Amino acid sequence: MEKQAKKKILLIRTSSLGDVIFNIPLANRLKDNGYEVSWLVGDKGVQVIQNNSCVDECIFVPLKKWKKHNIFKIILNYIKLIQYIRSKRFDIAIDTQGLLFKSGIFLLFSGAKRRIISSKAREFSFLCANEIINNNYIEEEKNVVKKYLKYADYLNIDETNLKYTLPIPSKELQKKIDIILNQLDDSKPIVVICPATTWIGKHWDRDNWKNLIAKIETQYSLIYTGTKNDIDLIEYISCGKGLNLAGKTNLLELAELFRRAALVISLDSGSTHLARATNIPKIVSIFCCTPSELYAPLGSNEKYISVASQTCKPCHKRKCKLKAGKYKCTLSPSVEEVYQVIQKML
């Protein structure tokens, strides 16, 4: 008897690292239930999707590079990629991003028989679909990962365990992290601190960081991570102590660093979600302007704890609208509150 071919699904999510990681459990659920999964991913998430067991194929769309081209070359790039996507003959395409030019165009011209999107999709990208999920159905869930898993529910796919996966680290990558960690006192637990992200309102007050670090620096081996732009912040809060790796690791190296840690202390950031995707360290995540119930890492309450600001209701805005006391949410939670959580976890 001839074996029935797997149905092919195209998952479209090209945006930030955090959003890509939020969709990994969805991709795993699709694949674990017999679908052949391809993922259209952009610059910020491609490293964590290439060679990831959650997909059969990673299709890279270099939107950052395309922006540097003239309009005619951009259109040509879109056409070439769409031609390739159509050649795959997908049965289903799911756009969890909902932005016209970053995802909707690929959904519209994917050639898939079923093109699925949320009714809350922006920039009129819902017009690119032939199946629109009522957003109230998705909003039943509070956490963003569970919201994306509703797309699997919509396809009548049985619920399975929450499953995060990342590419398996190479021996060369592991050796590089070994060399880095040889600089530390191996008698103390490793704590990785990720004190920066993109939004000002997501940043915990720098003096809070400094005071927290002063309380824990003798108990743990501290490593600081971030981009080159975060070096000055890290030097300030660490007073030059600990291991500053800002700008010195790529995403896969950072993931391996998290695998070696006992604890990660971070914000609502891609680093937090990357640490969660490794399934290994405990995580204390500090939330200021964004709601913890939406973005906090899912899992055991003993392993993943979020500590939220109490001075201002999470507005979920990039820019503070207050006329007085701007970004007061970043002053909270207190240093003592975060410290007590760390002591409890370790």
Domains of the chain: 8-154 (3.40.50.2000), 171-345 (3.40.50.2000)
Distance CA 198, CA 290 (A): 12
The residues, ordered by sequence, that sit 6+ positions from 22 with a Cβ below 8 Å of its Cβ are 144, 145, 148, 273
What is the token pair recorded at 190? 């490793």
Tens of pLDDT, residue by residue over 13-64, are 998 999 999 999 999 999 999 999 999 999 999 999 999 999 999 999 998 8
95: helix, coil or strand? strand
Closest CA to 55 of 37, 42, 43, 41: 37
- Rounded mean pLDDT, 191-207: 96
pTM of the model: 0.94
Distance CA 182, CA 117 (A): 48
Taking CA 34 as the corner, what is the angle to CA 26 and CA 86, rounded to the nearest 5 degrees?
A: 80
Q: How confident is the model at residue 4 (pLDDT cuts 50, 70, 90)?
A: low
- Rounded mean pLDDT, 241-268: 97
pLDDT of residue 141 exceeding 70: yes
What secondary structure does DSSP assign to 49-80, as a single string? HTT-TT-SEEEE--HHHHTTS-HHHHHHHHHH
How long is the chain? 346
pLDDT of residue 2 exceeding 50: no
Quote the pLDDT of residue 61.
96
Distance CA 330, CA 230 (A): 17
Q: Which amino acid, 230?
A: D
More confident residue, 5 or 276: 276
For the chain, give the percent of residues with pLDDT over 90. Answer: 92
What secondary structure does DSSP assign to 112-140, as a single string? -SEEEEETT-STTGGGG-SEEE-HHHHTT
Quote the pLDDT of residue 155.
96
What angle separates helix 17-32 from helix 270-278, to the nearest 10 degrees?
30
The number of CA neighbours under 13 Å toward the Cβ of 274 is 30
The residues, ordered by sequence, that sit 6+ positions from 234 with a Cβ below 8 Å of its Cβ are 195, 196, 224, 226, 244, 246
- What is the residue whose two structure tokens read 């194929």? 57
What does pLDDT average to over the chain?
Answer: 95
| 307: β partners | 286
pLDDT of residue 333 exceeding 60: yes
The number of CA neighbours under 13 Å toward the Cβ of 80 is 10
Tens of pLDDT, residue by residue over 68-121, are 989 999 999 999 999 999 999 999 999 999 999 999 999 999 999 999 999 999
**Which secondary-structure segment (H or E) carries 263?**
strand 263-267
Q: How confident is the model at residue 224 (pLDDT cuts 50, 70, 90)?
A: very high
What sign for the dihedral angle of Cα 50, 51, 54, 55?
Answer: positive
